[in-house]
């Protein structure tokens, strides 16, 4: 005896039912908790491209742990905002307008710089906007484990109202626990109807403040520059309530917002500092890139020597181009940074071959039993709204003391890449009823190991969920 099927599957991040299938084809009948011998285990491992070693390897700690800051060292920091909303409702226009109102005459000619985030000032206080609007970018970051957004500004056009991507944005922000401020845009239009927008928002759980709820709604026109200061003030107010704080007096930690290779300057990365202060000369590591901060520029293209919490800066001096979502950490020793970066590279190469293990119906019962799972998140797509509603309520009723079934997004339409990204970020499975994934969604789901289940009969979907909760689901061959 050597290793259980379960351990082997966890180590390789391969579905246990696939391993059992392979063993059966070799004439070995086992269940998931049974042990198999070294020879069989290493043969299986080899088929997946792994080398099985008898001795447990002592893994180097490649995660650079962060120490908690003392409450007394924390100081207020500016809020970081992502703008979301339906296409054409004015996200880009709003970002542009906000940036422009804030530029002094002297600078006005000079802002061509786009580093991935912009700093805006109102009443002497800073607000930071991420330049890429939309919940797709937001969720892609989250899927990589990075969360930088403090507040989501949801843009809804006053002449168009709540639309499918508005609902997606609401659900994505809610799943990330990020508060939403609504900007009702295009109020300059003759057919603008802000009250109708508010009514529609109520249906999605956003009750405006002036109607007794707690969702801040601000009427704006990005085109006519109306209400922008109000919006910024509301953002500051919300930020104050969130009591956003960080310790600026420690080595920096931040997230890469954007990065590319510049012909003349080498790898260039925009970092949003989240803790501490980043300084020129600091030894840094971000993903598999490392180096020393050679120079830094702010969002207006000015050279700076330091960047404090919530402030985005463009950094030169990395060995390589990091990925958006990578965590940047300041270390005390360049040799150490280099060695960690190299080990990470090796590990990532290995990981590319394995895939991240996500929740799946096959594994649900085991994960519940081990106490790893208390909640099963589900994204539901169906051909008609009636089926979405029917399935949603039947599914949620299946919840028991061990596990809660939660439909985090339900909508009409095919399963798209955004759905898969959302599932990946929220560790959810996707249920399709009379709809299929498009080809891009399908390949992304394979890559991200997102479990997609397709059904034509409501009963079948419910039966499978029930069976999975009891560990009685027939494996799919």
Burial label, 111 (beta-carbon count in 10 A; 0-12, 13-18, 19+): middle
Question: Does position 135 bind ligand GDP by CB under 6 A?
Answer: no
Nearer to ligand GDP, 190 or 281 (CB): 190
Choice from 34, 35, 199, 223 touching ligand GDP (CB under 6 A): 223
Choice from 221, 255, 377, 418 touching ligand GDP (CB under 6 A): 221
Q: Which helix (H) or strand (E) is 313 found in, with range?
A: strand 312-318
What phi and psi, each to the nearest 5 degrees, are found at residue 373?
-130, 125
Residues 357-396 that bind ligand GDP (CB under 6 A): none
Question: Does position 198 bind ligand GDP by CB under 6 A?
Answer: no
| Residue 434 Ramachandran class (φ > 0 left, ψ -120 to 50 alpha, else beta) | left
Closest CA to 239 of 181, 309, 307: 181
Strands 266-275 and 312-318: antiparallel
Q: Under DSSP, is residue 289 helix (H, G, I), strand (E, B) or coil? A: strand
Q: How far is the CB of 134 from ligand GDP (least distance, A)?
A: 8
- How many angstroms separate the CA atoms of 389 and 412, rounded? 10
Range in contact with ligand GDP (rule: CB under 6 A) among 56-64, 106-114, 221-229, 356-364: 221-229
Burial label, 145 (beta-carbon count in 10 A; 0-12, 13-18, 19+): exposed
- How many angstroms separate the CA atoms of 248 and 130, rounded? 21
Q: How far is the CB of 396 from ligand GDP (least distance, A)?
A: 32
Range in contact with ligand GDP (rule: CB under 6 A) among 203-211, 219-227, 345-353, 361-369: 219-227
For residue 185, say whether it is annotated as part of any ligand binding site.
yes
For residue 416, say whether it is annotated as part of any ligand binding site.
no
Nearer to ligand GDP, 188 or 334 (CB): 188
Q: Which residues, other chains included, contact 266 with Cβ-Cβ below 8 Å and sequence gap of 6+?
A: 316, 317, 318
For residue 413, say whether it is annotated as part of any ligand binding site.
no
For residue 88, say whether it is annotated as part of any ligand binding site.
yes
Q: Which pair of structure tokens corresponds to residue 92?
A: 């880009």
Nearer to ligand GDP, 221 or 387 (CB): 221
Q: How far is the CB of 193 from ligand GDP (least distance, A)?
A: 14
Q: How far is the CB of 96 from ligand GDP (least distance, A)?
A: 7
Measure the CA angle with vertex 424, ends 87 and 162; round to 5°.
Answer: 25
Question: Does position 144 bind ligand GDP by CB under 6 A?
Answer: no
For residue 78, say whether it is annotated as part of any ligand binding site.
no
Q: How far is the CB of 185 from ligand GDP (least distance, A)?
A: 5
Closest CA to 154 of 141, 137, 168: 168
Nearer to ligand GDP, 160 or 362 (CB): 160
- How many angstroms separate the CA atoms of 262 and 330, rounded? 23
For residue 251, say whether it is annotated as part of any ligand binding site.
no
Contact 293, 328 (CB under 8 A): no
Question: Does position 473 bind ligand GDP by CB under 6 A?
Answer: no
* Count of residues in contact with ligand GDP, rule CB under 6 A: 16
Nearer to ligand GDP, 192 or 315 (CB): 192
Choice from 188, 200, 230, 438 touching ligand GDP (CB under 6 A): 188
Question: Does position 194 bind ligand GDP by CB under 6 A?
Answer: no
Burial state string for 235-244 with b = 16 or more CB within 10 A and e = fewer than 16: bbebbeeeeb
Q: How far is the CB of 340 from ligand GDP (least distance, A)?
A: 39
* Distant-in-sequence contacts of 196-200, Cβ < 8 A, 24+ apart: 196/161, 197/156, 197/158, 197/161, 197/162, 200/161, 200/162
Choice from 186, 253, 381, 409 touching ligand GDP (CB under 6 A): 186
DSSP string of 381-432, one letter each residue:
EESSHHHHHHHHHHHHHT--SS-EEEEEEEEES-B-HHHHHHHHHHTEEEEE
Nearer to ligand GDP, 198 or 253 (CB): 198
For residue 227, say whether it is annotated as part of any ligand binding site.
no
Q: How far is the CB of 323 from ligand GDP (least distance, A)?
A: 25
For residue 186, say whether it is annotated as part of any ligand binding site.
yes
For residue 187, say whether it is annotated as part of any ligand binding site.
yes
Q: How far is the CB of 100 from ligand GDP (least distance, A)?
A: 13
Mask for 65-104, x = binds ligand GDP (CB under 6 A): --------------------x-xxxxxxx-----------
Burial label, 349 (beta-carbon count in 10 A; 0-12, 13-18, 19+): exposed
Q: How far is the CB of 89 from ligand GDP (least distance, A)?
A: 5
C-alpha dihedral sign at 80, 84, 89, 91: positive
For residue 70, say whether it is annotated as part of any ligand binding site.
no
Choice from 222, 361, 423, 428 touching ligand GDP (CB under 6 A): 222
Range in contact with ligand GDP (rule: CB under 6 A) among 71-79, 215-223, 326-334, 409-417: 215-223
Q: Which pair of structure tokens corresponds to residue 467?
A: 């069976």
Q: How far is the CB of 192 from ligand GDP (least distance, A)?
A: 8
Q: Applying CB under 6 A, which residues contact ligand GDP?
A: 85, 87-93, 133, 185-186, 188-189, 221-223
Residues annotated in the binding site for GTP, as ranges? 85-92, 131-135, 185-188
């Amino acid at each position: 005896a050597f290793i259980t099927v379960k351990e082997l599957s966890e180590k390789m991040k391969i579905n246990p039912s696939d391993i059992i299938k392979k063993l059966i084809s070799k004439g070995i009948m086992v269940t998931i908790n049974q042990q198999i011998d070294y020879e069989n285990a290493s043969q299986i491992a080899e088929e997946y491209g792994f080398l099985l070693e008898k001795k447990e390897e002592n893994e180097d700690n490649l995660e650079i742990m962060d120490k908690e800051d003392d409450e007394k060292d924390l100081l207020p920091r500016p809020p970081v905002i992502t703008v979301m909303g339906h296409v054409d409702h004015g996200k880009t226009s709003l970002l542009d307008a906000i940036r422009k109102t804030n530029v002094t005459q002297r600078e006005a000619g000079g802002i061509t710089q786009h580093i991935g985030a912009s700093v805006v000032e109102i009443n002497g206080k800073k607000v930071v906007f991420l330049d890429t609007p939309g919940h797709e970018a937001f969720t892609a970051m989250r899927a990589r484990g990075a969360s930088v957004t403090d507040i989501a500004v949801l843009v809804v056009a006053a002449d168009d109202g709540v639309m499918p991507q508005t609902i997606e944005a609401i659900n994505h922000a809610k799943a990330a626990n990020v508060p939403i401020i609504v900007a009702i845009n295009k109020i300059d239009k003759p057919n603008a109807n802000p009250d109708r927008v508010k009514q529609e928002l109520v249906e999605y759980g956003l009750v405006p403040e002036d109607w007794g709820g707690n969702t801040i709604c601000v009427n704006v026109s990005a085109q006519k520059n109306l209400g922008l200061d109000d919006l910024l003030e509301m953002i500051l107010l919300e930020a104050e309530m969130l009591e956003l704080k960080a310790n600026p007096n420690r080595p920096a930690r931040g997230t890469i917002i954007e990065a590319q290779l510049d012909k003349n300057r080498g790898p260039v990365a925009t970092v949003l500092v989240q803790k501490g202060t980043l300084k020129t000369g600091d030894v840094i590591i971000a993903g598999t890139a490392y180096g020393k901060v050679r120079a830094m520029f702010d969002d207006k293209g000015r050279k700076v020597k330091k960047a404090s919490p919530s402030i985005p800066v463009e950094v030169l001096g990395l060995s390589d181009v990091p990925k958006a979502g990578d965590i940047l950490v300041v270390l005390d020793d360049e040799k150490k940074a280099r060695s960690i970066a190299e080990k990470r590279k090796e590990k990532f190469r290995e990981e590319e071959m394995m895939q991240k293990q996500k929740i799946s119906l096959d594994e649900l019962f085991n994960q519940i039993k081990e106490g790893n799972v208390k909640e099963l998140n589900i994204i539901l797509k169906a051909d008609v709204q009636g089926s979405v509603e029917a399935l949603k309520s039947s599914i949620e009723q299946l919840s028991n003391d061990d596990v809660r079934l939660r439909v985090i997004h339900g909508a009409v339409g095919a399963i798209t890449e955004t759905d898969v990204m959302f599932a990946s970020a929220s560790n959810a499975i996707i249920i399709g009823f009379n709809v299929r994934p498009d080809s891009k969604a399908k390949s992304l789901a394979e890559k991200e190991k997102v479990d997609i289940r397709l059904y034509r009969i409501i009963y079948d979907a419910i039966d499978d969920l029930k069976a999975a909760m009891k560990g009685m689901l027939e494996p799919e061959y």
